[in-house]
Amino acid sequence: MHYESRIAQVLHDEHLRVIDLMNRLEGFTTGRKAKLAPAKDDAAAGALLADLKAELQGVSGHHFNFEEENLFPALIAVGDVAIPHMLRQEHDLLRNLSEVMLPMVQEACSNGFTAEAWAAFRDLALELVERQITHIQKEEMGLLPALSGVFEEQQDGELALLFAEA
């Protein structure tokens, strides 16, 4: 998909990256192989956990903060209060889920998974996948199209640069 708004396109591209990570996480935590914890020296598991750790440590938080500080006020100013309200609630929920998962991921990166830790991680991972994908779908259907025409071309470009620089 291509958006006329540069900031909408940047956020869309970010969504695609997160969807890819969520798909990898879902594949990692489902199926017959996922019943047992991965070996500590499993390179694919290590790479996924490193990517997930980076996401939980702040990449999503940056995305959420950027929207809340730079996009939601502009939408509210033009009378669209429903989208910012709904998405802010989801941001808070995803932040809370990230705070719970991050220590689990850090421990797994350092020491691998115990059977108990793996079971707890799988449950939370699947919840994260479901909530993150649903959230992205709402942003793709509601937020990004709503940005069309909200910002002047120069401001739109400045927002895209601001997001990319942070």
pLDDT tens-digit readout, 22-38: 999 999 999 888 889 99
Distances (CA, A) of 124 to 26, 36, 59, 63, 133: 11, 16, 18, 21, 14
pLDDT at res. 60: 78
Let me know if residue 20 belongs to a domain: yes
The owner of tokens 């798909």 is: 23
Q: The pTM is what?
A: 0.94
pLDDT tens-digit readout, 71-124: 999 999 999 999 999 999 999 999 999 999 999 999 999 999 999 999 999 999
pLDDT at res. 3: 83
Per the structure, the complete domain to which residue 10 belongs is given by: 6-165
| Percent of the chain topping pLDDT 90 | 90
Q: Are 143 and 87 in contact (CB under 8 A)?
A: yes
Phi, psi values for residue 124, rounded to 5°: -70, -35
The answer to whether residue 56 scores a pLDDT higher than 90 is yes
Let me know if residue 160 belongs to a domain: yes
Q: Report DSSP state, residue 152.
A: -
Let me know if residue 1 belongs to a domain: no
Let me know if residue 129 belongs to a domain: yes
pLDDT tens-digit readout, 127-143: 999 999 999 999 999 99
Quickly state the pLDDT bin for 14 (edges 50, 70, 90). very high
Let me know if residue 80 belongs to a domain: yes
For residue 63, what is the domain's CATH number? 1.20.120.520
User: Residue 105, Cβ neighbours under 10 Å: how many?
Assistant: 23
Let me know if residue 99 belongs to a domain: yes
Let me know if residue 119 belongs to a domain: yes
What integer best gives the mean pLDDT of the chain? 95
Let me know if residue 90 belongs to a domain: yes
pLDDT at res. 129: 98
Domains identified in the chain, total number: 1
